[in-house]
A and B are shown apart, each in its own frame.
Chain A
């Protein structure tokens, strides 16, 4: 069952020209995409390829100029549904500092449900639940400004969770974090996907991060250029190269060895294992 379905979706930006006229710049063009309920989807592409435009179309921040965006049976161009759609699709953006609305952690998380008119008692429950889900329970009464980048992003995720969304969209939410912070955020979203069956859409250009996804969608110049499992997509390395992306280093090495006649697993993602295998082959012959 799909939870999100895009049918021939296009969106362009109005760009003012020198005289009073304007031109249109393509954001996304003719996108068809289905996202299964409970799946983990990675959306990749270089800067300016249309990934973020697509994300904003998913919860009705943008309404398509042509085509339809369906979310949980509702359409984003239907004004009556838009409120419902937004509480169903939680968004987390790139810069952790831009997403904090209050100075105390638990107040920040309560902001969303408060706006939805959730009863006070339930808000408290939701805040505790959301904090536990991101592993930050002990930070409830801390100041938001004193957290690390990874902690701030986990609070932003908790804020989205408190709205009880069915879908979580992370728009390059790991791009500004150090490796430790990236790891923390990724662990949280993977566990939400597995334990809460939450649909996760992860927008990134760290190719290592797409390894755990069910499906990878590659974008370029506003169009979807290919989709498939991580390994299917990595096997199209020339295409990836053309759109400015790169296969993770270990897989690249494994594939090159394989095509040169070495009997190694071309989908190997562990460099130590790959080294062991090479040694085994050398030893046997």
Chain B
């Protein structure tokens, strides 16, 4: 399901001394099934932008279409929109509330009036999608580990069967193992289920290794919209925006300065090693 935003503008506290122009003429198109990262320094407008996507923030000016829903129209079908766009906030495990994992995951589908038997199937399927066994269904979500809680929270969003998944820093605060698990899960949802994924992230290494395209926000504007390899070639620009250059990108940039380039799209340490080790000479 695709997203088209044109000339999006948003001002907080309009007409007061605290007025803040959070989005300025934002134009973004995201195609069906893409895996996109949104990056930028704190306060750059990235959260304001993603909150538009399921109308947590109502459109002030400009145009926005999500799938076949036009948010510019006065009467938008919010129920349908929010079923389509699943929003996973930062630290989603803080939003777990029910007595059991089962009840927590079932909350969303129950609210939109899906009947009992079907809900049980959806709950099981969602739990399976996040790689957890049915044995946790009757447990309290609060007895689980940090990484498990986050996966249950994610299952709660997946139970609404969204076509677009927006994740705000999905791996923040997790250990390396937990990070890997969440990212491979998100990748699987993108590849196997064709869900469009929009991930807000501060971790440039993670962005570089996983996404097809990076959109960079700065002071409310989209300043770059590029594949990761092309974006992180602009070292000076990236550093000026207070962002980090991924280690593998730094390494590749250094090789490029000496005229060594590769045909394949290298993102990970493994790929960089294989490519360099395959070069003739040097050893």
Contacts and interface: CB of A to CB of B under 8 A. Distances in A.
Nearest to A263: B283
Contacts of A260: 273, 277, 283
A52 to B, nearest CB: 12
Contacts, number: 112
B173 A279 contact: no
Given A47-B145, A205-B175, A244-B176, A276 B254 contact: yes
Nearest to B143: A15
A274 B251 contact: yes
A61 interface: no
A257 B277 contact: yes
B244 A176 contact: no
A256 B272 CA distance: 10
Interface string A174-215: 011011100000000000000000000000010100000000
A180 B272 CA distance: 27
Given A178-B202, A278-B282, A279-B254, A249 B247 contact: yes
B253 A205 contact: no
Contacts of B255: 275, 278-279
A248 interface: yes
A276 B253 CA distance: 10
B251 A253 contact: yes
Contact of A250 (B41, B147, B251, B277): B251
B227 interface: no
Nearest to B246: A249
Contact of B273 (A245, A256, A285): A256
B42 interface: yes
Contact of A257 (B145, B172, B273): B273
Interface in A254-285: 256-257, 260-263, 271-276, 278-279, 281-283, 285
Contacts of A275: 250-255, 257-258
A93 B237 CA distance: 34
A267 B149 CA distance: 37
Contact of B247 (A172, A250, A276): A250
Interface in A150-167: none
A246 interface: yes
B283 A281 contact: yes
B177 interface: yes
Contacts of A179: 202-204, 242-244
Interface of B: 41-42, 145-147, 172-178, 202-205, 242-244, 247-248, 250-255, 257-258, 260, 269, 272-273, 276-277, 279, 281-283
